[in-house]
Amino acid sequence: MLTSKLSSDVTLRVGKDGKTVRAHRYVLISRSHVFEEMLSGPLTEKDNIKISDVEANVFSEMLTFLYTDCVTVTHENVNGLLFLAKKYAVRGLEKLCLIFLETNLNAENACMILEQAHRFDEKWLYDKAYKLVLQKGNKCCASESFKCLSRDCFENVIRSDDLIILPQNAFEAAIGWAEAQCRREGTEITPANLRSILGDTVYRIPFTSMSEKFYVNNVVPKGILTDAEHLNLMSWFLCPERDSSPFIRGKDFVLHDGHKRLIGAPAAQTSVYRRVDFMCSHCVTLRSVCLYGQQGGGGDVSCKIGGSFVFDTFFRKSVPLRRSDEMLGEFCIKRYHLDTPVNVRGNDWYYIEVEMKRCCPNFVGDRQRKTVKV
């Protein structure tokens, strides 16, 4: 009956071009109480019912489900089918669409699914997509679907303390979303309009974790910050101990035990190796390593970071370090920034291996602990 249109008694004009779709009144009203109100209730619509908010091929897929209880859900039609399932209260089709979105959730489509879950108030699916977006921030925020997020979803992502993303990627993602929002609102893309759209969310962009070079070459030319805000950030780059508010700073977790001066170090000792193995209960971003200061200002330092994951995969890479003049405590502890921050997954083992060349450290740990838990 669906394909032959035998005894069809309803004509629908579907899509912007009003394509003709024939169906049977009895099937529609038996499968959807919304169609029942439309076709047999007090708000009965006449023939040539217009349905312009969805394309004809997607509507035909929903008809297939109404007639046969079967449907082909794809990445291309799932949003349209879910919209129709919600609109016409077709619960079985709605469930199939939600299961499809959940089982196909990945970093490429997480933002799209996040927006759909927000739009249709599916909190369980929203929470699942939101968690993935935060964990895979670099990839998710670089996707085209990130630019299509509503303001609520955009702010929830950018403002989250748990978003794992490189600072330059967070800045570029925020600018890309703001430019897309300008186009949606029909306004010119100017620094003033970008700042107006971003508002106070701009303070959640991790400017303080950027390299000075990226900040000067990329952030300053965009013109979204005021002169006073630039001065605040530049002052912080020069003196990291300053208060950077209203701009956020990352949380610092520093693990160390007692200290003592190393007396009578062998003169022939040219390199010192140290390694720390660690596991975090949550996903974090490793941005810097703090090392005990070295005599005479310190020599060269090299760092390797590695880890073993599920399925016995393993990685090990050298990480360039930039020494800052920031001193922590009275023992000449110095902070070394990672040029490229490393994302650390929760509940996996990692290690940091450091080689200090040309000069022995002033201080070493005293009464070393085998394990530390915080």
Q: Which of 102-106, 174-178, 311-315 has the lowest mean pLDDT?
A: 311-315
Q: Is 113 a domain residue?
A: no
190 and 290 assigned to the same domain = no
Mean pLDDT for 85-105 is 93
Last residue of a domain, one of 104, 123, 143: 104
CATH code for position 271: 2.60.120
Mean pLDDT for 243-261 is 62
171 and 93 assigned to the same domain = no
Last residue of a domain, one of 208, 238, 268: 238
CATH code for position 52: 3.30.710.10
What's the pLDDT at 227? 94
Q: Is 195 a domain residue?
A: yes
Mean pLDDT for 61-68 is 93
What's the pLDDT at 325? 59
Q: Is 68 a domain residue?
A: yes
DSSP assignment letter at 119 = H
Is there a contact between 66 and 91 (Cβ–Cβ < 8 Å)? no
What's the pLDDT at 112? 94
> In a 3-state reduction of DSSP, which class is residue 371?
coil
What's the pLDDT at 367? 52
Q: Is 121 a domain residue?
A: no
Last residue of a domain, one of 85, 104, 123: 104
272 and 345 assigned to the same domain = yes
226 and 298 assigned to the same domain = no
Reply yes or no on whether the pLDDT at 260 is more than 50: no
Reply yes or no on whether the pLDDT at 217 is more than 70: yes
What's the pLDDT at 368? 55
Label the pairing between strands 349-357 and 271-279. Answer: antiparallel
Of residues 149 and 276, which shows the higher confidence score? 149
Is there a contact between 307 and 348 (Cβ–Cβ < 8 Å)? yes
Of residues 269 and 249, which shows the higher confidence score? 249
Cα–Cα dist 27/8, whole Å: 10
Burial of 228 by CB count in 10 Å (0-12 exposed, 13-18 middle, 19+ buried)?
Answer: exposed
Mean pLDDT for 259-285 is 64
64 and 92 assigned to the same domain = yes
211 and 264 assigned to the same domain = no
List own/partner pairs for 55-61 with CB under 8 A and 24 or more apart.
55/14, 55/15, 55/80, 56/14, 56/15, 56/17, 56/19, 56/21, 58/84, 59/12, 59/14, 59/15, 59/21, 59/84, 60/21
Reply yes or no on whether the pLDDT at 263 is more than 60: no
Q: Is 249 a domain residue?
A: no
What's the pLDDT at 151? 95
Mean pLDDT for 331-354 is 76
Count other Cβ atoms within 10 Å, centred on residue 169: 15
Is there a contact between 365 and 280 (Cβ–Cβ < 8 Å)? no
275 and 202 assigned to the same domain = no
What's the pLDDT at 312? 47
Reply yes or no on whether the pLDDT at 92 is more than 90: yes
Reply yes or no on whether the pLDDT at 302 is more than 80: no
227 and 293 assigned to the same domain = no
228 and 327 assigned to the same domain = no
Domain range for 224 is: 167-238
341 and 268 assigned to the same domain = yes
Domain count, the chain: 3
Burial of 22 by CB count in 10 Å (0-12 exposed, 13-18 middle, 19+ buried)?
Answer: middle
What's the pLDDT at 330? 55
DSSP assignment letter at 267 = T
Q: Model confidence at 161, in pLDDT bands (50, 70, 90)?
A: confident
Q: Which of 79-93, 217-231, 337-351 has the lowest mean pLDDT?
A: 337-351
Q: Can you give the length of the chain in residues?
A: 374
Is there a contact between 133 and 118 (Cβ–Cβ < 8 Å)? no
Q: DSSP letters of 307-333?
A: EE-GGG-EEEEE--EEEEEEEETTTTE
- % the chain with pLDDT above 70: 79
269 and 341 assigned to the same domain = yes
Cα–Cα dist 248/232, whole Å: 12
37 and 96 assigned to the same domain = yes
